[in-house]
Amino acid sequence: MPSIISVSTFNPPYTLDQETTTEFARELFSESFQDIDRLLKVFKNGQIDERHFAVPIKWFETEHSLQEKNDLYIELATTFCGKAIKKCLSSTNEFLNEEVAVSEIDAIVLVSSSGMSTPSLDARIMNEMSFSPHTKRIPLWGLGCAGGAAGISRANEYCRAFPEENVLVVCVELCSLTFQRNDRSKSNLVGTSLFADGIACALVTGDESSLSMKIDKPTRPTVVSSQSTLMPYSEDVMGWEVKDSGLHVVFSRDIPIIIKEWLEPNVRDFLDQNRMTLGQLSSFIAHPGGKKVLDAYVEALHIEEGMTNVSKEILRKHGNMSSPTVLYVLEQIMLEEHEENEYGLMAALGPGFSSELVLLTWKGVH
């Protein structure tokens, strides 16, 4: 089974506390909503203390064209991804006993939904680093919050087909650059309270990869199985609405209700296929889409609230960064000590409406 042997995260340079963003939203939205004070409770109730952004708050005070925002997305995402990749391949204090050279990487799964680039960002990253020119490029766009788990799934499938090879899963979202000053919808207000910027990278290796000799921890998570599920005709639940001014967030208030009704049978069927039960899981690597989403996970799956503690902490410190967020959770889970044959479930929900599930088990390093 393919292994995840290193994970890194990179926080963009500007940190804003929730109080600052609340006052910014009050100034911006007060003319549009008579009950603005009631609506602004979403900032406090979301249990987010701070978030990281690619640009300073002053940048949001003026209007920016789609071209200006997208050009900045390409420039900053390329730079930030390079930093996350270097950190992942040199994590000798966390996961590796020796640095991995970028020339040892055979494929890049590049996940992003908050900007557009052709050639895709992976090509631009390869121009900045000494990757082999024959590195396979597998860009994934439009998966939103489900993208991180989907990237791990696709890397797993690649490494099963090519067990000697190594794949980087790189997730980058600069949600702040999609902010719409003139969008006075409640979806935009909720998005302003919740979304942030983040970058994460995971190194996935096949069973016959030579990099197994560089694993420093006594156990590492391996991918047992994965499942993608699409809810038909649910495009209006979550995603982007593309307009002349850029990407406008679509964020249904019914998401927690949908999770409660739809997720449990989906997860149960997946675990049944793998002859597993929720009670056998020691880790729940849940994408923290928001406080209500995490609460819905607990209620729908009938799990202990403590199973989502790591996800809650990532939400508190970083907000919802879309696709990289689940890898932020995975990094913290992997830093913990795990016994051999422990099981974990990675879960993320995204546009479509869709879910990505990945079953992990920890194996000893031999």
* Catalytic center residues: 145
Residues in Cβ contact with 318 at an 8 Å cutoff, skipping those fewer than 6 apart: 11, 50, 51, 52, 196, 198, 325, 328
Strand partners, 137: 108
Distance of alpha carbon 86 from alpha carbon 71, whole angstroms: 23
Distance of alpha carbon 39 from alpha carbon 223, whole angstroms: 42
Q: Which of 285, 267, 282 is nearest to 326 (CA)?
A: 285
Structure tokens, 338: 């795990």
Distance of alpha carbon 318 from alpha carbon 314, whole angstroms: 6
| Burial track 316-339 (b if 16+ CB lie within 10 A, e otherwise) | bbbbbbbbbbbbbbbbbbbeeebe
